[in-house]
Structure 1
Amino acid sequence: MRTFRNAPLLTQSRLVVASLGVTQIIGYGTLYYSFSPLAASMGREFGWPSDWVFGAFSASLLASGLASPWVGRWIDRFGAGRLMALGSIGAAIALLACALSPNAIAFVFGLVAVELASTFVLYTAAFALLVQIKPLTAKTSITHLTLIAGFASTIFWPVTTALHQHLTWREVYYVFAAAHLLLCLPIHFWLALLSRNHHKQATTSAMPIVEGTLPTDRLRQGFVLMVSGFALLGFINAAVLIHMLPILTALGLGSFSVLVGTLFGPAQVASRLFSLMSGNRLQPLGLAIISTGLMTSAIAILLWSGSWLTGALAFAVIFGLGSGLASIAQGTLPLALFGSMGYGERVGQSTSVRLVASSGAPFVFAFIMHGLGIGPSLLICVAIGSMAAMSFALIGRQLRAGRGNR
């Protein structure tokens, strides 16, 4: 531990980001992306139709969304590193609870526990850790982290599918629980030790802070608009991601569905790499608007192209590009608009609303698809994406009005 603490600051920062990247790939891969490939087997075992399986997943996302404000406050109070270490233990226990569930009711409670644990170990806590350690360079560090974590879907969709060919879904969850204990827990424990002194300095105002760009009389309006934009964007992101493979299959792409789906992850990484190579010249608000435009356009392309493989490939790439930039914006826009003080609580509140909106997306979208069909469902997503873009555009208006009053 002493060697790491005495390492040059630049090397240490890179090591922190790289370590967090590993845990984010495992976290998102096991707690989120793995559900879709396993959902059919879960439904067959418990005798549930797919709507009810995704409804249980929606309920678990709702629970995590409701818990996020408290987690955000705990992050500010106790430090993100400490909570992430506890979250690794919680994630392993929750996955084991799902795997050992004797009936459907116990399975739902286990699934809720899985998503509650995710609030302690995924982006909200990871972004806060980077802000707590070094707020002045947190924007760049967040971009680096999302660049690495963008491989989660690319890695875990095929990995989960491959494991499930040889193991039951319960046994797959045993493997994932072991990954949290053997890989994520040691990393998060080290990060907790590393960030302890930084957190003490931050709470005593010994560290520099980042000032927000929104004037004080427009903070409430700006926060409502930001949260609304991320909530709407979160809805279409969750709806499309969770149902991506079923959507592509229903459009007639058949065996090409997995191939198209695997392009999503590299596209996420490519957009984050572009943001990084541009020197983060794009401001967080610009990233939010661009990401929303890309994701909305991608869905429109899929709606127009139907079973045309080239159109589906373009959809996956463009949607991935937009989703990659959206992840950066979710961490950097609250920092840019409101500053670093109270960042954990503010991001927790934003994440809460976004997850509550996202929690209904898998079930609602499945219901709409079964009732109206693929085309109208995708058209509704296009409309929701346009509303999200409008919310972010209005934040820009708030900033310009604030500067005009100075």
Structure 2
Amino acid sequence: MISHRPPTRAIILLGLVQIIAWGGSFYLLAVLAQPVIKETGWSQAWVYGSLSLALLISGLLAPLSGRIIARGGGRRLLAGSGITIALGLIIIALSHALWLFLLAWVIIGIGMAMGLYDALFAVLGTLYGTFARGAITGITLISGFCTSLVWPGLAALIAVFGWRDTCLIWAGMLIICVWPMYMFALPGDAGQGLVTRRQVNRGNPALAPQLFWLLCAIFTLASVIMTAISVQLIALLQSSGYALTTALALSAILGPCQVASRMVDMVFRRSHPIWTTFFSVGLVALGLLLLTLAPQLAMLSMILYGAGNGLRAIVRGTLPLAMVSTQDYAIVMGRMARPALIGQALTPLATASVYATFGAGTTLWLLVALGSLNLLLVGALKWMLPLFSDGRAERATK
């Protein structure tokens, strides 16, 4: 383990490369979907559902990524993610049949498992241990501008070149930028020899099962809520009486609030991440409750929700880092990513069904219930942490 945090130039590069990778994968369809549907005539459900397919593939492969990182292959895995996502984008550009379009998103899902937050945080934690917390906060702070930069950029490219050439342009940027940026930003011995094959396959003895599954539940609920809001927010605001232009303006508040909360977290980086987790899930639950009970205060609810959701990305990396050893961190991160990503994959279909069947009010109350449950789970985790950290875990399970 390296006994210092990554240099500032490395953090900046890693934040920028995350913007490029997220823009070519998770955030792509928000701008690309309608032009694709208009030209091809494919159904909206299939086009938007392709992202769910990519998330599902990413979730299934996340534990494998964790094992590769634990065995010292993290630097090459991250560097190769750009080429993999680029291959998917090239296939999208050449797609004149739906099956080929879906295959492209399977490949993009593989790239997402290789190179988005979960894999990057696992590499940083394996390399830098507790020194990775500042780097994770800095990277998420920079990448918090992703939608503000990517969506207008993609829209401008599509307006000038069309959606197919836009995919090729973004693929070229991934190929040119991602590999060299990762190779420069991360040390050449990124985790080499830290964990043997036998250790990787031994299971997860470093984290008690109760804590592991509690963490999985917390991260999965947080991811489900984030995905549901990303998909349904405009419709929920309109159902609360806001015009489309006003709903769009209110949703634009989320980005700056996410960045602001990450800046505040940098001030409190010496505190235990469990407190950041409390603030994250608490602000999300409070923002959703306020939107449900007092829709006229939607701006305040967006500020609260945006701040809480901004901390979510930091918590994903820093809370497990405070609970397991450096050697086990990548494996734990990979295993915890699977249920969260699968939950994200299923969320758009589930929330659309609830909204269509029961309406906006029930959808909001369901999200409030999930947010409140998550707050209770974090409280349970806070209560359990001392129990397991002081060696009483074995007695507690008898």
Give secondary structure in 2 for the equivalent of 1:31: coil
Change in 2 beyond 3 A, CA 1:167/1:334: same
Q: Percent identity?
A: 29
Change in 2 beyond 3 A, CA 1:302/1:160: farther
Deviation at residue 177 of structure 1 after TM alignment: 1.1
Of 57, 75, 84, which aligns to 2:78? 84
Counterparts of 1:161 and 1:130, CA distance in 2? 33
Do the aligned partners of 1:135 and 1:340 also contact (CA within 8 Å) in 2? yes
Aligned residue in 2 for 1:301: 290
Counterparts of 2:270 and 2:183, CA distance in 1? 34
Deviation at residue 86 of structure 1 after TM alignment: 0.9
Counterparts of 1:346 and 1:150, CA distance in 2? 25
Question: Pairwise mapping of residues 177-326 of structure 1 onto structure 2 (< 5 A)?
Answer: 177-191=171-185, 194-200=186-192, 202-203=194-195, 219-249=208-238, 251=240, 252-278=242-268, 280-306=269-295, 308=296, 311-326=297-312
1:30 matched to 2:16: no
Change in 2 beyond 3 A, CA 1:10/1:391: closer
CA-based RMSD:
2.4
Do the aligned partners of 1:129 and 1:195 also contact (CA within 8 Å) in 2? no
Of 372, 377, 381, which aligns to 2:358? 372
Question: Pairwise mapping of residues 87-126 of structure 1 onto structure 2 (< 5 A)?
Answer: 87-126=81-120
Deviation at residue 386 of structure 1 after TM alignment: 1.5
Counterparts of 1:262 and 1:274, CA distance in 2? 20
Aligned residue in 1 for 2:35: 41
Deviation at residue 374 of structure 1 after TM alignment: 1.9
Counterparts of 2:159 and 2:175, CA distance in 1? 24
Counterparts of 1:272 and 1:338, CA distance in 2? 23
Q: Residue by residue, what CA displacement relative to the aligned partner does 1:136-165 show, whole Å, maximum 9, x if unpaired? A: 311121111111111112222333333333
Q: What amino acid maps onto 2:44 in structure 1?
A: S
Do the aligned partners of 2:254 and 2:305 also contact (CA within 8 Å) in 1? yes
Runs of 4+ aligned residues of structure 1 deviating over 6 Å after TM superposition are none
Counterparts of 2:78 and 2:208, CA distance in 1? 29
Counterparts of 1:168 and 1:10, CA distance in 2? 46
Counterparts of 2:13 and 2:162, CA distance in 1? 30
Q: What amino acid maps onto 1:223 in structure 2?
A: F
Aligned residue in 1 for 2:343: 357
Q: What amino acid maps onto 1:258 in structure 2?
A: L
Aligned residue in 2 for 1:132: 126
Do the aligned partners of 1:61 and 1:359 also contact (CA within 8 Å) in 2? yes
Deviation at residue 10 of structure 1 after TM alignment: 7.1
Q: What amino acid maps onto 2:54 in structure 1?
A: S
Q: What amino acid maps onto 2:358 in structure 1?
A: L
Deviates more, 1:117-126 or 1:27-36: 27-36
Counterparts of 2:38 and 2:108, CA distance in 1? 21
Deviation at residue 305 of structure 1 after TM alignment: 4.1
Give secondary structure in 1 for the equivalent of 2:153: helix
Q: Residue by residue, what CA displacement relative to the aligned partner does 1:248-275 show, whole Å, maximum 9, x if unpaired? A: 4555331233332332221111111101
Counterparts of 1:95 and 1:138, CA distance in 2? 31
Deviates more, 1:37-46 or 1:70-79: 37-46
Give secondary structure in 1 for the equivalent of 2:26: helix
Change in 2 beyond 3 A, CA 1:82/1:73: same
Counterparts of 1:86 and 1:262, CA distance in 2? 33
Change in 2 beyond 3 A, CA 1:202/1:166: same
Deviation at residue 41 of structure 1 after TM alignment: 3.0
Give secondary structure in 2 for the equivalent of 1:83: helix
Change in 2 beyond 3 A, CA 1:78/1:102: farther
Counterparts of 1:164 and 1:313, CA distance in 2? 31
Unaligned runs of 5+ residues in structure 2 are: 197-204, 393-398
